Amino acid sequence: MLLLVGLGNPGAKYAGNRHNIGFMAVDALARAYKLGPWKKKFRSEVAEGSIDGVRVLAMKPQTYYNDSGHAVAEAARFYKLTANDIVVFYDEIDLAPGRFRMKKGGGAAGNNGIRSIAAWYDDDNFRRARLGTGHPGDKDKVHGHVLSDFAKADAAWVEKLLDAVVKAAPLLAQGDDDKYQAEVMRLAPAEKAGARAKPGESES
């Protein structure tokens, strides 16, 4: 089984936040591949089904972003998953808006959701689908930036990126992260405009 985790905060007031693009990605995958119905399990909303013949469980932890590890570890241990069976979709401020990068393991780069998963699961070598949302340019503005809604001007690239994440998903399901990344960026080449990324200043 492949566990597809979207990071975000539960509740309507957070639904359009940059911090919730992980939820948006998992929702898009669930719709496209007819996963579900959604139900409450593992302190999360989960939907089960398959992508390209691979059994998947889509998960949106309801523990709030910074404590996502509780839910992920619970599900991973229940299904006896390895780190390679876990893919986490989340917002990455150190990538320009619309950029997409896959990464396996490594540090949390200041992202508290990723830090929580690594701590509770006790293994940080899980797969990470990083959805670029850009940096506000000042580390003191990061908190407000990630917890604010996407601007109307962002709608086009957000939709295109999520659509690409969905269309390329069979490559992800088969474990080919390099090809998945390349196909997502081919389908949704990032614009150069928008909030800039500043490597090394990620805080969330």
Task: Report the catalytic residues.
Answer: 19
CB under 8 Å to 164, separation ≥6 — which residues? 100, 183, 184, 185, 186, 187, 188
Tokens 């390895």 sit on residue = 82
With beta carbons less than 8 A apart as the criterion, state whether 140 and 2 touch: no
CB under 8 Å to 135, separation ≥6 — which residues? 93, 94, 142, 145, 195, 196, 197, 198, 201, 202
Tokens 């940096």 sit on residue = 135
Name the strands in the sheet holding 44-51, side by side, starting at the edge strand that comes first in the sequence: 39-41, 44-51, 54-61, 2-6, 86-92, 127-132, 100-104
Retrieve residue 145's tokens.
Answer: 């930036």
